[in-house]
Structure 1
């Protein structure tokens, strides 16, 4: 069982996204929005120059996922939600 509730995760995830990851993406014209946290799954959306970028998969795996898992918990799941699919998040 995952040791944190979704509510427990909200603030730490938000802080890491806003203070560490987003500024890094912004340097290359990209952006990221935290959409939701459900059942230890962090739903994010890559935006700006990240959309359609061939490196976005690597960014998701080696920047976003690595940062969140190392700072919070290794069992977190990070899911990129394509633009237009925001209303169809898994429960």
Structure 2
């Protein structure tokens, strides 16, 4: 899968999880995709949310890996890695 195809696949995964984040006043933006790492930026209410690490691990990362199993890491650009 090319980098552009992988990026499109990750965007599809983010579209799947985005409504849940938006319902709580947040959002997520795709920053970068490499062959095994995705970098995202949390926005809105997600920035100060006390459960954002759990959301990244159990929601975002799990959804991305279901769509693109070759992804090994999902990193929030604030430096938190899962």
TM-score, normalization: structure 2? Answer: 0.84
- Stretches (4+) displaced over 2 A: 4-8
CA-based RMSD: 1.7
Matched residues, number: 79
Q: Note the residue ranges of structure 1 that are not aligned, 5 or more in a row.
A: 86-91
2:9 corresponding residue in structure 1? 12
Q: 1:35 aligns with which of 7, 16, 31?
A: 31
Higher normalized helix content (fraction of residues): 2
Helix, strand or coil for the counterpart of 2:47?
A: coil
SS in 2 for 1:54: coil
Distance in 2 between residues matched to 1:46 and 1:14, nearest whole Å:
14
> d(CA) in 2 for partners of 1:76 and 1:8?
17
Q: Is the 8 A contact 2:38 2:74 kept in 1?
A: yes
Matched, 1:51 2:47: yes
